């Protein structure tokens, strides 16, 4: 079976290739519609995938990958849940750090009610507010 880190790094490579292809079509659109001074920053509006694998853990037929993306204003983490399917993996859930407790799992001395102390929330949930 493909190791989870190898699977996930292949996913990031393929996604980056798709972004690069889309950017070749997006650049002329930005040039057409952006005026000054915005056109000087058109590169900032291209698609980028800044994710790097930070941590990988596996337990039987499931695995978890934590990534980090670096931005000027800070880092953004995501946690991917993988399930074994045949000889590979599928991403079945994506979590983000809880915005109520900022990923700490606590609000003051109390356990965060939003994430129930886990520090993460399922970004696929409809009601995250």
Q: What is the pLDDT of residue 128?
A: 42
Q: What is the pLDDT of residue 126?
A: 55
The domain at 4-97 falls in which architecture?
Roll (3.10)
Give the residue extent of every domain in the chain. 4-97
0.85 cut: is pTM over it? no
* Average pLDDT over the chain, rounded to an integer: 91
pLDDT digit string, tens, across residues 3-62: 999 999 999 999 999 999 999 999 999 999 999 999 999 988 998 888 899 999 999 999
DSSP state of 21: H
- In terms of C-beta density within 10 A (0-12 exposed, 13-18 middle, 19 or more buried), how is residue 8 classed? buried
């Amino acid at each position: 079976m493909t190791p989870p880190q190898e699977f996930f790094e292949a996913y990031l490579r393929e996604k980056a290739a798709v972004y690069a292809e889309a950017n070749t079509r997006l650049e002329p659109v930005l040039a057409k519609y952006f005026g000054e001074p915005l056109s000087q920053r058109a590169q900032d509006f291209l698609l980028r995938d800044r994710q790097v694998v930070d941590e990988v853990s596996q337990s039987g037929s499931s695995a978890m990958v934590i990534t980090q993306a670096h931005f000027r204003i800070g880092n953004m983490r995501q946690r991917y849940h993988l399930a074994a399917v045949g000889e590979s993996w599928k991403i079945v859930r994506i979590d983000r750090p809880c915005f109520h407790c900022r990923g700490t799992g606590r609000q003051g001395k109390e356990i965060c009610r939003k994430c129930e102390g886990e520090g993460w929330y399922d970004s696929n949930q409809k009601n995250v507010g």
